[in-house]
Copies of this chain bind each other. A is one copy, B any other.
Amino acid sequence: MQLQTTDEKPAYWKSAVSRVTDEKVYVRGYDLEDLIGEISFTAATFLLIRGRVPSPEEARALDAVLSGVLDYALEKPGTVAARYVVSANPSMAIGMSAACMAVGKHTLATEDTGRFILAAHQEYLESGLPLKEFAGGKVDRMRQAKERIPGLGHPVFKKVDPRGALLRQIAVEGGLWSEAAETYEALHHAFTQLPGKADIPINDVGVMAAVMLSLGFSPEEGTGIAILSTLPGVIAHVSEELTGGKPIRVVPREGVKYTANTDGDFAADMARAGWGDKGSEGPMGSSGSEL
């Protein structure tokens, strides 16, 4: 059943996520009252973004992705930014807002990896080649073009990243390791055949990206889920800052090298720059003729 919407001329907005009536809230077609207490937050997250209820395996894999990072102490810029912000403006909402905005070019690893996997898999499908052969050729072409495969390598782990391996296993057990993910693994395998690369594993970010694609999330939605997974930690840090932190945090002076001089001669430099004497011809001319 479709509620009527007035749309003689096309409405400026369109949305399929939820709808609100005077008595009810419908989420992806379901009465919200039917969901409360009957669905885990993880399953609700899947429902809202994908538009359908997940299978138990999908919910489990998403739970594993959502607990893949959790927190990274004061070594994540967004967490630190959030604590600085709330030290001036003590608000949980604003702290979370600050943490979200500190995700971009230098931290969108899953999104970039997701885009790479999708594009490479598409290229494979169009190549008509056996996977192994495609992967070998693709890796060669990338090496010649000096392009890197995202999601490979780890500062500490050799051959296997235990967190990545765990995620992969959960996805495979759930039948959620897609063909695109297999293409990605084939590229990794071909990569490890290169001289000196034998030990380089797919890292946890690479596996997270592959699993989120297998769950049907777009790379952008994957970024949203990766951010979501870090917010309970942000809530904990902001709460810690609000209760035990310092109002008006600074960077302690001993941690900064200030290279600005302190002996500029402003009046002289302004004159040198062509400003007349103080007054109507001066930089405060906007004070007008009265001066």
Contact = CB atoms under 8 A, between A and B. Distances in A.
Given A92-B220, A224-B239, A290-B57, A15 B258 contact: yes
Interface stretch (A115-123, A125-133, A241-249): A241-249
Given A77-B88, A87-B106, A88-B106, A27 B156 contact: no
A41 to B, nearest CB: 4
A270 B43 CA distance: 10
Given A41-B41, A257-B10, A3 B94 contact: no
Contacts of A84: 77-78, 80-81, 84, 102
How many chain copies does the complex carry? 4
A9 to B, nearest CB: 10
A71 interface: yes
Contacts of A57: 274, 287-288, 290
Interface stretch (A18-26, A141-149, A187-195): A18-26
Interface in A88-128: 88-94, 96-98, 100-108, 111
A48 to B, nearest CB: 4
A172 interface: no
Contact of A29 (B102, B162, B261, B276): B261
Which 6 interchain pairs have the tightest Cβ spacing? A285-B285, A89-B104, A56-B288, A60-B287, A29-B264, A224-B235
